[in-house]
């Protein structure tokens, strides 16, 4: 399954966490691995579900600066964008 992420750069943690929640069981205890293609590959620690999220550069910035507490967000080295690509 592939979805578009639904949170903004200035959203509070609760909304960002909800945007990363498992679409099957709605748990926010998730793992997110972000690659250079701005696609987050996600997995649920509760039910074992797997899905992908399309991320915008501003969402990537939000996750890198202040990820939600319940989510395990990781970045590959290739996902680092030049500053001009973030806005």
Burial 36-69 (b: 16+ CB within 10 A, else e): eebbbebebeeeebebebebeeebbbbbeeebbe
Q: Against a cut of 0.85, is the pTM above it?
A: no
Asked if residues 17 and 68 have their Cβ atoms less than 8 Å apart, the reply is yes
Structure confidence at residue 55 (pLDDT): 94
Asked if residues 73 and 32 have their Cβ atoms less than 8 Å apart, the reply is yes
pLDDT digits (tens, 9 = 90+) for 29-72: 999 999 888 899 999 999 999 999 999 999 999 999 999 888 89
- The DSSP result for 10-39, as a single string, is T--HHHHHHHHS-TTT--S-EEEEE-TTSE
């Amino acid at each position: 399954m592939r979805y578009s992420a639904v949170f903004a750069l200035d959203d509070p943690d609760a909304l960002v966490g909800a945007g990363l929640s498992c679409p099957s069981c709605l748990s926010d205890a998730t793992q997110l691995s972000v690659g250079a293609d701005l696609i987050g590959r996600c997995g649920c620690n509760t039910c074992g579900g797997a899905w992908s999220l399309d991320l915008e550069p501003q969402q990537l910035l939000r996750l890198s600066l202040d990820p939600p507490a319940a989510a395990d967000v990781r970045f590959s080295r290739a996902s680092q964008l030049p500053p001009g690509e973030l806005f």
